[in-house]
Structure 1
Amino acid sequence: MSFTWASKKPKDGVATLYESNITLNKAASSHFEHAYNVLLGLDLDSKRIAVKPISKEESDIGAIPEEKRHKITVRSSYARVCNKKFLKEVADLAKIDLKDNNSFKYKAKWSKEDALLVIDLTQPEV
C-alpha cells in the first residue's frame, strides 16, 4: 500500500469573499504576519485582486496615501481585510452575489516578483 499522509497545514492559498471582507486562509495569510496595512488593487481586464502588504516603516514615512491603506487583521489561522465598497466592485466584476451572507472562495497565490497576493476571480475554489 502506498498512502499519502494528509498535512494539517493547508498548502494552497484560498481567499473567501464576503459582502464586507476578504478572509484569507492560513496559507495565504502567512505573507501578512508583519503587515501594518495593505493596499487593495483590482485588475479589471484579467479579473484579479491584489493584496499588497505595507510595513509600519512604509506607512510612517507617508509613502502611501492614507486613503489607499486598508487595515488587515491577522490571527493565527486567518487574516481579514474589510472594505464593503471595494467588495461591491469585485462582486460586479465577477458577477457574483455577496448579499444574504453568500460567500465565494477563490485561489490565491503569492507573487514573489511583485511581493503581493493575487486572488484570481476566474479560478473559484471547489
Structure 2
Amino acid sequence: MQFQWYDPDTGAPVISIANYGINFSSGAIDVLGKPIYIKIGIDSENNILGIKPLQEEEDGVIKFISRERQGNVRITSKDFIRFIKSKLLDEDIIEDSAKKYIAKWDKDNEILIINLNDPIQK
C-alpha cells in the first residue's frame, strides 16, 4: 500500500471560483508543485477546468507562484472568468459569490482537474 499522509498545514486542494477570479489553497499549490507558471483550459462539454503546471514560459501562460500571499494564490481576472463563461453551456455555474471545489490531480495528463458540476456543499 502507498499512503499519502494528511498535512494539517497544507490541507485539501481547494479551488475557489467567482466572478472576480480564481483562488488556489495551499493544498492546491502543493499538488501543483509550486510551478512558476500555469495554463488554464476548459472542457466545456463536461464543465471541467484543467490547470497545467509549467516551469518554463510559453504562449498563454499565467504567472503563478510569484502571486502567492499567505499560503494562497489568487488570480484576479474578470477577462479570464468571461473566457470560461463563454465556453460553458451554463454560464450561471460561476456566480458573484465564490464557490469552492476539491481539485484532483490527473497523474496521467499531469493536470489539476476541477469539476465545476461538483462544488463543495456549505
Q: Same fold (TM over 0.5)?
A: yes
Mapping 1:11-26, distance limit 5 Å: 11-26=11-26
Structure 2: gaps of 5 or more residues: 1-5
Contact 1:23 1:78 in 2 (8 A): yes
Aligned to 1:82: 76
Structure of higher CA gyration radius: 1
Matched AA of 2:61 = R
Deviations 1:52-93 (A, max 9, x none): 1110xx32xxxx22xx11122224522223332221243462
Contact 2:14 2:100 in 1 (8 A): yes
What is the DSSP-based 3-state SS (H/G/I as helix, E as strand, rest coil) of the residue aligned with 2:117? strand
Matched AA of 2:63 = K
Aligned to 1:115: 110
Aligned mates of 2:11, 2:103 — CA distance in 1: 11
Aligned mates of 1:7, 1:74 — CA distance in 2: 19
Decide whether aligned partners of structure 1 residues 97 and 121 sit closer, same or farther in structure 2, where only a CA change above 3 A counts.
closer
CA RMSD in angstroms comes to 2.4
Aligned to 2:99: 104
What is the DSSP-based 3-state SS (H/G/I as helix, E as strand, rest coil) of the residue aligned with 1:95? helix
Aligned to 2:52: 52
Decide whether aligned partners of structure 1 residues 33 and 82 sit closer, same or farther in structure 2, where only a CA change above 3 A counts.
farther
Match status 1:37 vs 2:37: yes
Structure 1: gaps of 5 or more residues: 1-5
Decide whether aligned partners of structure 1 residues 31 and 7 sit closer, same or farther in structure 2, where only a CA change above 3 A counts.
closer
Residue 103 of structure 1, CA deviation: 1.1
Aligned mates of 1:97, 1:115 — CA distance in 2: 25
Aligned length: 111
Deviations 1:19-46 (A, max 9, x none): 2221011211113454121101011011
Matched AA of 2:100 = K
Matched AA of 2:62 = H
Percent identity for Structure 1 against Structure 2:
23
